[in-house]
């Protein structure tokens, strides 16, 4: 329990910063753990290499991290003040990817050890021996919590921050500048992350991979505190930290201690079932969505070129990059289905892909199952797991759903991907030779055959996604994305729609995981880490999260894909970390300048080219991707009707009747058995009348 107080202190310090930033600017900073990593590495440099006193090193590291927070607010978050919560969240995900990549390039992968400066002796209290450094760290967390709580309760600035969290517009009308408050909270919040990073660095080894992911249990504690109360955050952090320590000590099951905070969250969601309300002044700008229309002539040419390239032109390194691109593009396509079509921000798609790859590889390697049957079994199992992942979506949306699904991805990685029971003592499953209908699919002996197989699977999934988009199911998903309550009022089964999209996206992500699993002689599910789940969201956003063509565009940024191959050609010897840095930086730039990704301009350019080929004069901004009321591209079809009609459905679009009197007789509305809202209401409305 005493050891757990050290973790509780770290969670509290980081969580206080998360709450402050959320109060001041309405943003959940997923890059908070990465900011702590920056401070820890600066402290290591100042203390270990320059030999500065530890007090001076802490002050400089914390000040630098606070300056980083102010810079992030001014350059990124302030311009995004009127953007949707999803866009701002993706910006913090891009920042997380960028910071981690920069740290690796500057300092290396580590791990790094920092000289202790807090007293490391022990203290005996009632027979319990604890270490002074943990107790001092917890005492600092208590002091910070009390100071922030008193400031929030009894100072004008604290009251203004509480007010702006409730209604930013009204607070602005009272003379408080949202810009100044946002700058203040981002500076102080990042400084608290820096303080946490410098204090815990000597106690635990600094890991570039694990420290940024400290945000996962921190967000769990913050969510338990409802993003509001500093004392509740302290209590939640103690429950999480001490609980993890006790479980780790007495229940030696991999992943059990990491699962505690999210078990508590799931219980809380079932009991409370409330969604955090967004900023009152923000009007959601939803991503643009493609029509799902297939131009068979263009598709035929593309398929022919790719097939010819695989069969005759591409060398082995390029074929390996193509296979990786097809696999990762399938996982990105699953994100397009979730976020682009239905607005469900899930951060667990890479975990689903890893589960499918693990099941399929074990089916072939351990039980001798044929590849087609193994794929069917793995996809069915992944769909069932995906439906389980959909359960939190029935009680929450938006950022809360992102936090919970990221936690599920973390639990999956700890419970399954690092468990010898599933991955063996070497952490990998060795893949035997596989065939498909008699054709050798060895990716090394027959890379052309395996690349064709991966391409066919990817193409089939794209066609299925396009069909869903054009059909009734796509219209229902868009309705849920826009407003699930309004969709329910129009007769859309919201629960069914969410289960449907989570199931379909899980199947697509699972196929991507299978393609990647069988592309190497040994499959290591550790590749599909929580960090990779975050990166997949970034890939989808870069490509165009509302467009099917955005999947292969975003897949170029994944490890081993065409983007990696291109960097290696242009810059031989460069590591994959540079691709990570480039993708993180591009995510931030795209959120600011091009929130619909590469796909939007590609669609516009293709439409302009088609128009010129047909001899029609296209107007400057009258392209095929002009946003409509649903965020869908609005194009004129041959029959002269707008493609927007495809969004609302052919049944609605076909309505054209002469005006008649509307008569309502004995209307009733009930909620359950006890609450009667309307009973026995009758009225009529003549054409041209407005009746309230």
Indicate the DSSP class of residue 312. I
Contact 54, 117 (CB under 8 A): yes
Average pLDDT over residues 347-352: 91
SS (H, E, C) 95-117: HHHHHHHHHHHHHCCCCECCCCC
Q: State the pLDDT at residue 159.
A: 87
- Residue 366 within a domain: yes
- 642 shares a domain with 690: no
- 328 shares a domain with 259: no
- Please give the biggest Cα pair distance in the chain: 89
Q: State the pLDDT at residue 273.
A: 54
Higher pLDDT, 130 or 284: 130
Q: State the pLDDT at residue 631.
A: 43
Q: Which two tokens stand for residue 511?
A: 């196929």
* Bridging pattern class, strands 675-685 and 429-430: unpaired
Q: State the pLDDT at residue 125.
A: 66
Sorting pLDDT into bands at 50, 70 and 90, what band is 653? Answer: very low
Least confident of 126-135, 146-155, 234-243: 126-135
Average pLDDT over residues 541-570: 87
Half-sphere exposure of 489 (CA within 13 A, CB side): 6
Sorting pLDDT into bands at 50, 70 and 90, what band is 657? Answer: low
What Rg do the C-alpha atoms of the chain give, in angstroms? Answer: 27
- Residue 85 within a domain: yes
Q: For 531-650, list the strands marked E by DSSP.
A: none
Cα 366 from chain centroid?
33
Task: Tell me the C-alpha distance between 27 and 220, whole Å.
Answer: 16
- 328 shares a domain with 262: no
Contact 313, 371 (CB under 8 A): no
Q: Domain end: 501, 535, 569, which one? A: 535
Task: Tell me the C-alpha distance between 104 and 261, whole Å.
Answer: 29
Q: Which two tokens stand for residue 30?
A: 């997923």
Task: Tell me the C-alpha distance between 189 and 70, whole Å.
Answer: 10
Residue 44 has pLDDT above 50, yes or no: yes
Q: Which domain range does residue 685 map to?
A: 658-692
Q: Domain end: 272, 289, 311, which one? A: 272
Residue 430 has pLDDT above 90, yes or no: no
Residue 553 has pLDDT above 70, yes or no: yes
Q: Which two tokens stand for residue 312?
A: 């005759």
- 60 shares a domain with 7: yes
Return the C-alpha torsion angle 104, 109, 110, 116, nearest 10.
Answer: 30
- 246 shares a domain with 390: no
Cα–Cα distances in Å, from 87 out to 158, 284, 335, 422, 690?
A: 27, 9, 14, 37, 38
Indicate the DSSP class of residue 338. I
Indicate the DSSP class of residue 120. -
Please give the backbone phi and psi of residue 348, each rounded to the nearest 5 degrees, phi first: -125, 15
- Residue 469 within a domain: yes
pTM reported for the whole predicted model: 0.81
Indicate the DSSP class of residue 586. H
Q: State the pLDDT at residue 515.
A: 93
Length of the chain: 692
- Residue 394 within a domain: yes
Cα 544 from chain centroid?
14
Q: CB pairs under 8 A, 24+ apart, for 431-434?
A: 431/361, 431/364, 431/365, 431/517, 431/518, 431/520, 431/521, 431/522, 431/523, 432/364, 432/365, 434/364, 434/371, 434/518
Q: Which two tokens stand for residue 665?
A: 């007789």
Residue 279 has pLDDT above 70, yes or no: no
Q: Which two tokens stand for residue 416?
A: 């399954």
Q: State the pLDDT at residue 133.
A: 80
Nearest CA-CA partner of 531 in 209, 85, 124: 209
Q: Is 564 exposed, middle or buried (0-12, 13-18, 19+ CB in 10 A)?
A: buried
- Residue 581 within a domain: no
Residue 59 has pLDDT above 90, yes or no: yes
Q: How close are the terminal C-alpha atoms of the chain, in Å?
A: 62
Q: Domain end: 535, 559, 577, which one? A: 535
Average pLDDT over residues 465-486: 88
- Residue 343 within a domain: yes
Task: Tell me the C-alpha distance between 675 and 692, whole Å.
Answer: 22
- Residue 245 within a domain: yes
* Bridging pattern class, strands 128-131 and 122-125: antiparallel
Task: Tell me the C-alpha distance between 499 and 385, whole Å.
Answer: 11
| 418: preceding bond cis by omega (within 30 degrees) | no
pLDDT one-digit tens code per residue, 236-276: 999 998 888 888 888 877 777 777 877 777 777 666 654 44
Sorting pLDDT into bands at 50, 70 and 90, what band is 648? Answer: very low
Q: State the pLDDT at residue 276.
A: 43
Contact 647, 475 (CB under 8 A): yes
Q: State the pLDDT at residue 166.
A: 73
- 491 shares a domain with 364: yes
- 339 shares a domain with 264: no
Residue 39 has pLDDT above 60, yes or no: yes
Contact 163, 190 (CB under 8 A): no
Q: State the pLDDT at residue 656.
A: 55
| Total domains, the chain | 4
Helix ranges restricted to H, 368-446: 371-390, 398-412, 420-423
Q: State the pLDDT at residue 525.
A: 85
Q: Is 502 exposed, middle or buried (0-12, 13-18, 19+ CB in 10 A)?
A: buried
Task: Tell me the C-alpha distance between 656 and 689, whole Å.
Answer: 19
Q: State the pLDDT at residue 384.
A: 93
Q: State the pLDDT at residue 252.
A: 75
Nearest CA-CA partner of 238 in 220, 211, 213: 220
Sorting pLDDT into bands at 50, 70 and 90, what band is 688? Answer: confident
- 438 shares a domain with 336: yes
Q: State the pLDDT at residue 288.
A: 84
Q: Beta partners for 627?
A: 633
Q: State the pLDDT at residue 616.
A: 55
SS (H, E, C) 213-234: HHHHHHHHHHHHCCCCCHHHHH
- Residue 611 within a domain: no
Nearest 5°: the CA angle 543, 546, 551 is: 40
**Whole-number mean pLDDT of the chain?**
83
Task: Tell me the C-alpha distance between 480 and 343, whole Å.
Answer: 8
Average pLDDT over residues 116-134: 73
Least confident of 242-251, 345-354, 637-646: 637-646
- 174 shares a domain with 144: yes
* Cβ burial 343-353 (10 Å sphere, 16+ → b, else e): bbbbbbbbbbb
Report percent pLDDT > 70 for the chain.
Answer: 90
Element (H, E) at 43: helix 32-44
- Which residues have C-beta within 8 Å of that of residue 639, sequence separation ≥ 6? none
- 9 shares a domain with 101: yes
Average pLDDT over residues 290-295: 85
Task: Tell me the C-alpha distance between 496 and 488, whole Å.
Answer: 11
Half-sphere exposure of 527 (CA within 13 A, CB side): 23
Residue that is written with structure tokens 């401070």 in the block = 39
- 650 shares a domain with 681: no
Among 65-74, 209-218, 524-533, which range has the highest average pLDDT? 65-74
Residue 618 has pLDDT above 50, yes or no: no
Task: Tell me the C-alpha distance between 329 and 331, whole Å.
Answer: 5
- Which residues have C-beta within 8 Å of that of residue 174, sequence separation ≥ 6? 163
- 348 shares a domain with 244: no
Task: Tell me the C-alpha distance between 417 and 254, whole Å.
Answer: 10
């Amino acid at each position: 329990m005493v050891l757990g107080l050290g973790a509780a202190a770290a969670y509290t310090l980081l969580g206080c910063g998360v709450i402050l930033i959320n109060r001041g600017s309405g943003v959940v900073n997923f890059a908070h753990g990465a900011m702590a990593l920056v401070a820890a590495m600066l402290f290591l440099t100042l203390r270990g290499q320059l030999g500065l006193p530890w007090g001076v090193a802490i002050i400089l590291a914390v000040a630098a991290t606070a300056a980083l927070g102010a810079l992030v607010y001014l350059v990124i978050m302030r311009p995004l003040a009127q953007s949707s919560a999803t866009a701002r969240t993706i910006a913090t995900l891009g920042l997380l990817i960028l910071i981690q990549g920069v740290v690796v390039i500057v300092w290396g992968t580590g791990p790094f050890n920092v000289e202790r400066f807090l007293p490391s002796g022990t203290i005996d209290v009632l027979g319990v021996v604890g270490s002074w450094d943990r107790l001092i760290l917890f005492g600092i967390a208590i002091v910070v919590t009390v100071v922030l709580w008193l400031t929030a309760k009894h100072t004008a600035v604290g009251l203004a921050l509480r007010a702006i969290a409730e209604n930013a517009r009204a607070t602005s009308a009272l003379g408080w500048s949202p810009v100044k408050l946002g700058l203040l909270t981002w500076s102080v919040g990042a400084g608290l992350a820096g303080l946490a990073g410098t204090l815990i660095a000597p106690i635990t080894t600094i890991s570039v991979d694990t420290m940024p992911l400290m945000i996962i249990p921190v967000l769990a504690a913050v969510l338990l505190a409802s993003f509001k109360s500093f004392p509740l955050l302290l209590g939640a952090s103690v429950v999480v930290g001490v609980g993890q320590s006790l479980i780790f000590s007495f229940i030696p099951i991999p992943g059990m201690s990491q699962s505690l905070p999210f078990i508590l969250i799931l219980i809380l969601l079932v009991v409370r079932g409330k969604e955090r309300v967004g900023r009152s002044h923000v009007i959601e700008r939803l991503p643009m969505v493609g029509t799902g229309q297939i131009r068979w002539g263009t598709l035929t040419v593309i398929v022919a070129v790719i097939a010819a390239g695989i069969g005759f032109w591409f060398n082995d390194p390029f074929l390996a990059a193509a296979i990786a691109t097809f696999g990762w593009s399938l996982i990105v396509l699953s994100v397009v289905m979730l976020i682009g079509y239905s607005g469900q921000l899930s951060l667990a798609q890479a975990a689903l892909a890893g589960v499918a790859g693990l099941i399929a590889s074990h089916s072939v390697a351990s039980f001798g199952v044929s590849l087609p049957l193994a794929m069917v079994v793995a996809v069915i199992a992944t769909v069932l797991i995906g439906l389980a992942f959909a359960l939190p979506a029935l009680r929450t949306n938006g950022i809360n759903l992102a936090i919970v699904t990221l936690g599920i991805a973390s639990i999956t990685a700890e419970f399954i991907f690092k468990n010898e029971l599933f991955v063996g003592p070497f952490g990998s499953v060795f893949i035997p030779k596989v065939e498909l209908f008699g054709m050798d699919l060895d990716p090394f002996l027959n890379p052309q055959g395996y690349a064709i197989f991966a391409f066919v699977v990817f193409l089939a999934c794209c066609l299925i996604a396009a069909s869903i988009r054009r059909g009734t199911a796509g219209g229902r998903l868009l309705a849920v994305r826009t407003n699930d309550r309004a969709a329910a009022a129009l007769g859309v089964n919201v629960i069914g729609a969410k289960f449907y999209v989570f199931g379909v996206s899980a199947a697509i992500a699972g196929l991507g995981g299978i393609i990647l699993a069988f592309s190497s002689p040994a499959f290591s599910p550790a590749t599909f880490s929580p960090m990779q789940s975050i990166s997949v969201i970034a890939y989808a956003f870069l490509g165009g999260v509302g467009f099917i063509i955005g999947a292969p565009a975003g897949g170029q940024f994944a490890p081993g894909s065409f983007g990696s191959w291109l960097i290696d050609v242009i810059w031989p010897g460069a590591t994959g970390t540079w691709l990570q840095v480039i993708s993180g930086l591009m995510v931030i730039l795209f959120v600011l300048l091009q929130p619909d990704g590469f796909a939007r301009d590609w669609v516009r350019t293709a439409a302009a080219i088609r128009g010129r080929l047909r001899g029609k004069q296209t107007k400057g901004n009258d392209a095929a991707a002009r946003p409509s009321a649903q965020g869908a591209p609005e194009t004129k079809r041959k029959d002269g009707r707008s493609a927007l009609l495809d969004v609302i459905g052919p049944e609605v679009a076909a309505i054209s009747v002469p005006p008649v009197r509307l008569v309502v007789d004995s209307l009733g509305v009930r909620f359950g058995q006890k609450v009667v809202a309307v009973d026995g209401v009758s009225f009529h409305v003549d054409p041209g009348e407005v009746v309230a």
